[in-house]
Amino acid sequence: MLGFCLISRIFVTMKKFLALTLVILAMPARADDIPAWFAALDRDGNGAIVLDELHNARYQRFARMDTDGDEQLSLRELRNDRTWLSRFTWFDSNKNGRISIDEYEAKGMARFSMLDTNGDGRITLAELRAITKAAKRGKANTAG
């Protein structure tokens, strides 16, 4: 029984690590690009990104990628974007070979929850910087 508990804990930790990695991948590659990325999402300029702002930006991105207008993303529509191709199976929760708007929004909710580290329903620039710092520490710790 102890072995199962340990394996379960390792699995949950690995799942959290993978989810955090995907969150980090969605952010700008360089830390000094984060303020511009943040400002673009903070539509009302109040210093925080709320779920509606994130959903609006994500829906606009989805609509741009949905070139055939069927409200689903296919591998064909994403074929020229290596980053999206690598994330396709993560987004395609029901494994039908297409990403629906519902699947896309569900992952957005999960991402929002991970970025909103204090759980107040808002993502601040300080939270994003802390996540970036933690990710850098994690890379340094695993580098050798």
Domains of the chain: 15-130 (1.10.238)
Picking from 39, 25, 44, 30, the residue whose alpha carbon sits closest to that of residue 114 is 25
CA 136 – CA 31 distance, rounded (Å): 10
Please check whether residue 66 is in contact with residue 74, taking contact to mean a CB–CB distance below 8 angstroms.
Answer: no
**Cβ-proximal residues to 23 (8 Å cutoff; 6+ apart), any chain:** 111, 114, 115, 131
**Cβ-proximal residues to 95 (8 Å cutoff; 6+ apart), any chain:** 89
pLDDT of residue 128: 87
pLDDT of residue 31: 54
pTM to 2 decimals?
0.66
3-state secondary structure of 122: strand
Picking from 139, 142, 131, 72, the residue whose alpha carbon sits closest to that of residue 100 is 72
pLDDT of residue 41: 87
Instruction: Give every residue of the chain whose pLDDT is below 50, as ranges.
Output: 11-12, 17-25, 29, 140-144
Tokens of 17: 């690590």
